[in-house]
Structure 1
Amino acid sequence: MSEEGTNTQVEGFEVRQRYFEDLTEACEAAREGCALFEMPWRSHVIATGPHARRFVHNMTTCQIKELKPGEGRFGMSVDSGGKLVADFFVEAEEDRLVLESSCSGADAIVAHLKSYIIADRVNLERETTGVVLALTGAASQQVVEHTFEGAPLPHEAYAWCSGTIAGHGVRLRNNPHRLGVPGWDLTVPAEHLTEVRDALLNVGATRVGHEAFEICRVLAGVPRVPDDMGLSNVPLESDSLAETIDWDKGCYIGQEVIAMMHYRGRPNRHLRGLAFGGDTPEPGATISTDEGREVGTVGTVINSPASLTSVTLTPDQPTGLSTLTCLAEGFSDADGDDPSHVLLVRPGSLYGCPPRVCTRMS
C-alpha cells in the first residue's frame, strides 16, 4: 500500500484516486477485506411534516409508508413516464425521513418532489453537515463490531441505528448495494471525521481510492446515476436497480409504465458491460454494430486489471453484467492481449442486444 496518489474530482469534491499501487490488491481489499471509502459527494435530504412519509412513499419505487424507525430501503424517484430521476437510500425515523444520494441526485430529488407538492404538508431540505464513509468487504462487519458502540448492529439490508465510534455520534447503515458485497455506511459529523476514520483504520480497515471503487462497482454491474442510467432510462434496464423495486406497494408516480413493462413483457434494452483492449473511449461516445446500428453510449470507463476482468467478466459469473467483447478495428484483441478496459454501456436504440456483438466506436 502506498500513500502516494493523485486526486480526482467527483461532483466537485476532491477525492484520492489511488492508495494502492496494485489495483488488484485494492479491489481484493474492497471485496474480501474491509475497504474504507470516503464519499464527500454524498448528501442528505430531510423530509419532515405530517404528510412526509405518505408523500415520499407515493413518489418512489420502494416501500416507505410501512417502515418502522430503524428500518431503511434503497429506492428510486422516477418521472411520470417511468424514467429515472435519482436513486437513494432512505432511513426512517419517528418523525422524519433521511434520504441519502449524490449531491446532484439530492438536488434532483428535491426539485422533482417539490414539483408535486400541492396541499401536502411536507418539507424537503438538504443537509450537508455529515460525511459518508463506506466500508465494504467480507471483513467489514468485524471492523464495525470492534468500533461501534451504543446499539445492536442492524442485520437487515438498509436498516440503520445511531451510536458512537471513538466517542463521537454516528449513523450506521447495513448496505450491501454499493459494490454488491457486504458493507456498512457511516454518516459522520464533518468535524469528527478524522477521529472516526482513524478508529476504523486502527482495527483493520484499509483506505482505498476512488479508482478501485469504480472498478468494483462496474464489475458488479451497479450503475451510477446519471452517468450510466438517467432520464432516458427506466430502472428495469438495469438488473441491480430492477431487483430493488417493490411490486406490492401500490401506486406511485411512474408506476403504471414500470408495472406494464414488468408484467406484460420485458425491457428490450439493458445496461451492459463491455470488455476490450486498445484505446480508452470517452464517456458519452456512441457504440454501434458493424452494420451501423446504435447499441448505446459509453458510461463509466475503468482500466481493469486483467486478473479481475478475466475472472469476473464471464457469462457464468453472477456479476450483473453481460459481456460484450469488442472485436472491431481499433478495439480488438488481435495482438493477443487480454481485455484491459471495461465500461458500462448505457442502453441505446439497439433492442435485444446479444451477449456477444461485434462493435465499433463512433
Structure 2
Amino acid sequence: MSRKRILSITAPLLAGVLLAATACGGTTQGDDDDGGGAATGGTADPDADYQTGLSIAMLPKSVNNPYFDASSAGAEAVVTELEGTYEYTGPSDASASSQVSYIDTLSQQASDAILLSANDPNALCASLDQARAGGTIVVTFDSDVEASCRDLFVSQVNGDEVALSLLEMAAEQTGGAGEIAVLSATANATNQNAWIEAMEAELESNPDYADLELVDVVYGDDEDEKSFSETQGLLQTHPDLKAIISPTTVGIAAAARYLSGSEYQGEVALTGLGTPNQMREYIADGTVTEFALWDPTALGELAAYTAAAAASGIITGAEGEVFTAGDLGEYTVEADGIVTLGPPTRFNADNIDDFDF
C-alpha cells in the first residue's frame, strides 16, 4: 500500500547519526543512467536515474523538535540510499532571522539541495535567491515560502483537508457548540496561517459550525514553555472555552501537559496535529480524545526524493511532471511546483498503539 494516498500502519522512526559536514559538488550519474532527464511540455521520465553523490541538507523551523527529527530520519535514509551526503542543521528558535544564516552557509558550501521548512514566507527569499543563483536546488517542505523563491514545495497534505479535519474533530469533541481557540506556532508560519484562514472561512460559511465561535488565536512560537504558558493564558482569558485546536506538534504536546495537570482536564477538549509517541500518554489519561497528523518520516523521504529528482534533472518543477519516490510510489508535480504527500490520519485510543513515530 503506497503512503502516497494512505498512511502505512506502522512508521518506525529511523535511527541514524546526523552527519556534521556537507560535501560540495562532485556528483556523478548512476551506473544505469539511460540519459533520461526532464522532458519538455510538462512531462518527465518517472524511471530516470537519480544522481549519486548529491549533497543535501535539511533546515527545519527549529531543531530538537520530534516532528522534524522524524522528517530528518526519513530524508537521511533516502540520501544514504542515493550514496549522497546529508546534513541536518538549523536554529534552536523558530524565527526567520535565525534561518537566514544557515541558508547562507549552505549556499557558500554549494550544497546541491536544501530542504527547508520556512518560518516566514518572504523574509528568506533574498538568501534563497542567492543560493539558487549558485546552483542549489531549494525544496521547501511542511511550510512554504513564496513560490518564486524556491523550486518546489512538498506539502504534507492539502491545506483545506487539514482545516476540515481540525474543525470536524473540534466539533465532535464539543458537541458542535461553544467557544474555541487556536494555539499556533509562529505568527508568520505559512502553513499554520493557511490552515487558520481556511478554518475561519469554514466557520463562516458552513451551517454545521454555526454554534462554534473562534474567540482567539495565540502563538507559542513552537517553544514548549511558551506554548504551555499560552495555554494557561487562553483558559484564564476565556473561562467558557470548550476546545483548543493546536496545529503544531510542539503546541499540542505542551497544551496537553498543562491540561493533564489542571482542573480543565476532561472539561476543555484539545485536538490538533501531533505525533503518536508525543500524545500517547494524554490519550491514555483522557486529556485528549483524538488528534491527527501525516507521517513526518515519509514527508522527509518525499522531500529528499523531490530534491534529488530536481538536482538530477528528472523534474524541473513544471506542472504535470512525474517521478518515482522509491517505495512511496509515483508523484505528480502540481501547479506552482507543489508535490503533495497525502491526507492526514486521525489517532485515538482505538488505533494509536498501531503507530510508532
- TM-score in terms of structure 2 length: 0.26
Higher strand share: 1
- TM-score in terms of structure 1 length: 0.26
The structure with higher relative contact order (CA 8 Å, sep 6+) is: 2
